[in-house]
């Protein structure tokens, strides 16, 4: 890790000095061709492997390209920084050369880096679910004093298929009070992993504020805070994997809103001229929204739905307005966020707000526009009869799968 970090910083320094003193722009291939001379002058770089060293220089080149691309677009990007050994994220082997993975039945695996006397062995837990695969790359990283290896496999499309156990059609409304509410009224409670650990997290942060920055005790408490955050993230990821897998395995159609957590969790501070209101309350709501991880749940549903042949229907929230629309008469009934019960002003239909939203997105998954033309929006669609559902095809984004099998 230290040698890869040194190579990264040396490559960045070379690019800066070459442009500053001679106006020369050095690219990735110039630095890659200098690797044999570097290994001859510094023999300790030779056991690391040529491909791993090239990948470190490629990371530097990608960082420089991203900086110039954003600067050209009128943004204000930060210039790539020199990295200390403690903050260097890791290094990679971009192909199967220089490492090997040994599978030991169902009990785990062993990862070997390098060869001969310089080889290093790492044990891994669990196993993958593929019978045939090819090793693609491996990334070694260090987080909170622990080492991790991320192995990527090349697998055929047919080998990634999941066996679906049911053919249900479900509408899902994600929320904070209940993590998910379905059209039939069933709910999945929000585990609130972050809220349960907030007292312990606050106590550690108060202790760290009393220590001198950079001292041994300060660094020790910083590691404890990092380990606690990592534990919360692992619990959240495990919960999301289990719930999304259960949904995909039992459903042929899943309809939900296309949420944008970044917009939902914006700060309420405002500006100096127009300061915001209820800033602390909005900060607490933002924390709960981010802790629920709607964005990660949608990503998991997207790729798992493709593997299982499930149709994932994502409606446009601004066009459809699921929380304001009645699932019985399809009319809009404005409500504030505090109103948790839907009472239609037109037909009198009463239902819990989240359950009504889930029913609306499921109806939209089977709604056919009057004219199959480009640009038809939800508000212009034919209204279904009172307390009846139309059964069409929607113009909103869906995952590429066989709709015939899903229906």
Catalytic residues: 173, 257, 354
Tokens encoding 365: 């998954």
Q: Residue 92 to residues 55, 122, 148, 262, 392: CA-CA distances in angstroms? A: 6, 15, 12, 30, 48
How far, in Å, CA of 112 to CA of 400, rounded? 38
How far, in Å, CA of 13 to CA of 10, rounded? 5
Q: Are 160 and 344 in contact (CB under 8 A)?
A: no
Q: Are 60 and 26 in contact (CB under 8 A)?
A: no
If you compute the radius of gyration of the chain from its CA atoms, what whole number of angstroms results? 27
How far, in Å, CA of 363 to CA of 353, rounded? 15
Sign of CA dihedral 256, 257, 262, 266: negative
The partner residues of 91 in beta bridges, in order of sequence, read 140
Within 10 angstroms of residue 358's Cβ, the number of other Cβ atoms is: 29
């Amino acid at each position: 890790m230290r040698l890869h970090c040194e190579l990264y910083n040396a490559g960045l320094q070379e690019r800066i000095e070459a442009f500053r003193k001679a106006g020369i722009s050095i690219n990735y291939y110039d630095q890659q061709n200098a690797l044999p001379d570097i290994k001859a002058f510094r023999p300790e770089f030779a056991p690391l492997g040529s491909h791993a060293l090239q990948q470190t220089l490629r990371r530097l080149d990608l960082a420089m390209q991203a900086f110039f691309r954003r600067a050209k677009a009128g943004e204000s990007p930060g210039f790539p920084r020199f990295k200390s050994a403690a903050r260097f994220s890791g290094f990679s082997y971009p192909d199967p050369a220089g490492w090997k993975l040994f599978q030991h039945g169902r009990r785990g695996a062993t990862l070997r880096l390098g060869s001969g006397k310089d080889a290093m062995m790492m044990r891994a837990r669990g196993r993958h679910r593929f019978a045939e695969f090819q090793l693609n790359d491996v990334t070694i990283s260090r987080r909170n004093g622990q080492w991790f290896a991320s192995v990527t496999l090349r697998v055929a499309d047919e080998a990634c298929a999941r066996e679906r156990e049911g053919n249900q059609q479900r509408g899902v409304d994600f929320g904070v009070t209940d993590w998910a509410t379905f059209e039939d009224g069933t709910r999945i409670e929000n585990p609130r992993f972050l809220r349960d650990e907030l007292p312990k997290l606050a106590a550690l942060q108060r202790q760290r504020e009393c220590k001198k920055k950079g001292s041994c005790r300060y660094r020790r408490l910083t590691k404890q805070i990092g380990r606690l955050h990592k534990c919360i993230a692992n619990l959240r990821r495990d919960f999301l994997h289990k719930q999304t897998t259960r949904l995909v395995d039992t459903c042929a159609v899943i309809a939900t809103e296309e949420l944008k957590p970044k917009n939902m969790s914006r700060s309420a501070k405002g500006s100096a001229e127009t300061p915001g209101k209820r800033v602390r309350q909005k900060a607490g709501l933002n924390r709960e929204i981010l802790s629920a991880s709607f964005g990660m749940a949608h990503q998991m549903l997207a790729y798992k739905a493709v593997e299982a042949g499930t149709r994932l229907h994502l409606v446009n929230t601004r066009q459809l307005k699921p929380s304001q629309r009645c699932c019985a008469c399809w009319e809009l009934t404005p409500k504030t966020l505090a109103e948790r019960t839907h009472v239609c002003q037109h037909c009198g239909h009463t239902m819990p707000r989240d359950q009504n939203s889930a029913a609306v997105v499921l109806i939209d998954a089977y709604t056919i526009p009057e004219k199959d033309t480009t640009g038809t929006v939800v508000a212009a669609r034919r209204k279904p009869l009172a307390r009846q559902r139309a059964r069409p095809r929607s113009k909103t984004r869906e995952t590429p799968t066989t709709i015939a099998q899903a229906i």
